[in-house]
């Protein structure tokens, strides 16, 4: 048997922070006074992972599959984007090996949510939680993220067939 074809994909997202919006990361609601603005639920982590998966299989990007001008996706639960990307990747013959990710947000501290977020993502992706990693960083009070104007997420996905 020949060696598996292993591929990686990169994803990144940013959304503005605003008072009175929900803060949803990886499908988990975080208790906080500020949340993320956006057409969908603005879950930057789910969006970054969606792009990483699509990128690994060269299947375009999140906006190609879910245009933010489409009223169907207004207020959408981003778990459906993630589940759809995973299905596209699997339909192309790949298995998802692992996901790694970083959320960059000045406040609040997120580490107590790590397990809940990993479990939520793993459930949506149909993966063992051990294959899903989520890390958190501040921006050291520098730049728009550091000033609390926005939050970012980065993700990398490895797939194989
Ligand atoms: O950004 P900094 O290097 O100071 O982050 C140190 C640690 O704080 C991170 O490794 C992470 O465990 C935690 N952290 C967090 N929530 C954030 C930012 C960082 O739990 N919003
Ligand atoms: Mg987004």
* Ligand 1 centroid to residue 137 C-alpha, Å: 4
Helix-helix angle 114-125:44-56, to 10 degrees: 40
Q: How many Å apart are CA 97 and CA 104, to the nearest integer? A: 24
Position 98 scores a pLDDT of 98
Name the closest ligand to CA 30. Answer: 1
Q: How many Å apart are CA 64 and CA 159, to the nearest integer? A: 21
Q: Is the CB of 98 under 6 A from ligand 1?
A: no
Specify the CATH number of the domain 6-160.
3.30.1330.50
Position 43 scores a pLDDT of 97
CA dihedral 153, 78, 97, 1 (to 10 degrees): -130
For the chain, 161 residues long, the average pLDDT of each consecutive 10-residue run is 92 97 97 93 97 98 88 84 96 98 98 98 98 98 98 98 97
Position 16 scores a pLDDT of 98
Domain ranges (residues) in the chain: 6-160
The sign of the dihedral angle between the CA atoms of 123, 126, 127, 132 is negative
Position 74 scores a pLDDT of 77
């Amino acid at each position: 048997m020949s060696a598996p074809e292993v591929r990686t994909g990169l994803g990144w997202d940013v959304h503005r922070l605003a008072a009175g919006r929900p803060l949803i990361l990886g499908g988990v609601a975080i208790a906080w006074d500020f949340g993320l603005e956006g057409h969908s639920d603005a879950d930057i982590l789910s969006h970054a992972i969606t792009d990483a998966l699509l990128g690994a299989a060269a299947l375009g990007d999140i906006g190609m599959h879910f245009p933010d001008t489409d009223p169907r996706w207004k207020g959408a639960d981003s778990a459906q984007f993630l589940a759809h990307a995973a299905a596209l990747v699997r339909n192309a013959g790949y298995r998802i090996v692992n996901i790694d990710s970083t959320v960059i947000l000045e406040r609040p501290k997120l580490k107590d949510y790590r397990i809940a977020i990993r479990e939520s993502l793993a459930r949506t992706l149909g993966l063992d939680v051990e294959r899903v990693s989520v890390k958190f960083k501040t921006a050291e009070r520098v730049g728009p993220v550091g000033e609390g104007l926005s939050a970012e997420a980065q993700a990398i996905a490895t797939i194989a067939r």
